[in-house]
Structure 1
């Protein structure tokens, strides 16, 4: 089968994120291993709280597929809902289709029908689907029973937040993977005086890195104080 043509959408996918830059909490090891196992043909349904890394994993898997010379697409429903269901037309032959924040269409029957049809079409084309939701799997309730049933039959995983006792190691890992020099004292200061959320800390780390390069200064506690 010929590869589908490259489709253009009115949002961007981060082409730089990779699994190598993602700190894998021990509770998430099996999930990440299964995502990277191209011999697994099952669709994936991942649930977890906001900012736990679901979007990052979807975009990492898209980039991973690209390295394997396979096609992929990332669709954030918070953006796609602005453009209508036609945006899903003719994507069923793409090797990997990632759809983020599926809970946003719980009460939207038009989109539920479109997603249901997409699932049916990808069964025929042998494409892989990867859905995420930012709520508990059991509380997801679509108004279209057929879609609700189909989703609940998919291979599902919970993406756990980085555990409290692993946050320091996660921050050091992310800094090292991005070639950011973050000392132990600076790490302790960040964790003591800022929100202990790895998503928030990563954003602060990026700002510190950009500022340190612009000012040609090391990341120090006085510099950190300017951001938290």
Structure 2
């Protein structure tokens, strides 16, 4: 697998079973823990099969919840385990997408807040929790709010979301964001001049997913045009960058 591909690279162990396009393959190693070290360690343990069977992540959009869930699935797959990432509330999917997932080692449910107040979805997620527990499988879920703040109609589902540890993800500080940019660029072997780093931190979202995707785009365009990263090049990329959560 390569980190600069234009879409998901399926393997027998990892399937993103929706048409989800990834600029790169998110990994746990490239997520700079910063203030979220405990949560990252917990996700790593669950992905390996050695940690808590149920984890709930919550926090604002810029904290990289989606990155951690996708990275957990990739880590599980690379360890020979079966994993699925599912963004709840995505248009075009129905509750029956959760059927039979208990046969997998790890399920990652993103955006749980999007199905709050929808009885069919709430029942489907509740039933999945029960089946996963019966089979000794693992689940990592994420939402914008903690379980008690979700507008859930099914009280039993709220109780399931309290089964394991819950972690509030915090945004990276500016120094952490700068470190993340520079480390990601260094791994790719591209120079990132200080003025380019400052421009990115001033004009681009600082969530881990957005920053790492931007570095991947910089790497790709620099290679294609055979030129080092400059502010005009980064500005061009940012105009086309749809961002991520």
Question: Do they superpose with TM above 0.5?
Answer: yes
Structure 2 spans left out of the alignment, 5+ residues: 1-11, 239-245
Superposed displacement of residue 186, structure 1: 2.3
Q: Distance in 2 between matches of 1:133 and 1:86?
A: 20
Could you say what secondary structure the match of 2:29 adopts? helix
Superposed displacement of residue 143, structure 1: 0.6
Superposed displacement of residue 53, structure 1: 0.9
Give 2:64's match in structure 1, choosing from 31, 44, 53.
53
Give 1:94's match in structure 2, choosing from 104, 107, 111.
104
Shift in CA distance, 42/188, structure 1 to aligned 2, threshold 3 Å: same
Q: Distance in 1 between matches of 2:120 and 2:142?
A: 19
Q: 2:156 corresponds to which residue?
A: 146
Q: Distance in 2 between matches of 1:145 and 1:31?
A: 26
Matched, 1:135 2:133: no
Shift in CA distance, 223/83, structure 1 to aligned 2, threshold 3 Å: closer
| Aligned pairs, number | 222
Q: 2:6 corresponds to which residue?
A: none
Contact 1:112 1:147 in 2 (8 A): yes
Superposed displacement of residue 174, structure 1: 2.2
Q: 2:184 corresponds to which residue?
A: 174
> Does 36-45 or 115-124 show the bigger shift?
36-45
Shift in CA distance, 226/66, structure 1 to aligned 2, threshold 3 Å: closer
The root-mean-square deviation of aligned C-alpha atoms, in Å, is 2.5
Shift in CA distance, 215/160, structure 1 to aligned 2, threshold 3 Å: same
Shift in CA distance, 28/110, structure 1 to aligned 2, threshold 3 Å: same
Matched, 1:76 2:84: no
Structure 1 spans left out of the alignment, 5+ residues: none
Deviations 1:94-126 (A, max 9, x none): 000001000011110111111111111111100
Q: 2:28 corresponds to which residue?
A: 19
Shift in CA distance, 174/146, structure 1 to aligned 2, threshold 3 Å: same
Higher Rg of the two aligned structures: 1
Superposed displacement of residue 51, structure 1: 3.3
Scaled by the length of structure 1, the TM-score of the pair is 0.86
Superposed displacement of residue 207, structure 1: 3.1
Contact 2:15 2:85 in 1 (8 A): no
> Does 10-19 or 89-98 show the bigger shift?
10-19
Q: 1:31 corresponds to which residue?
A: 39
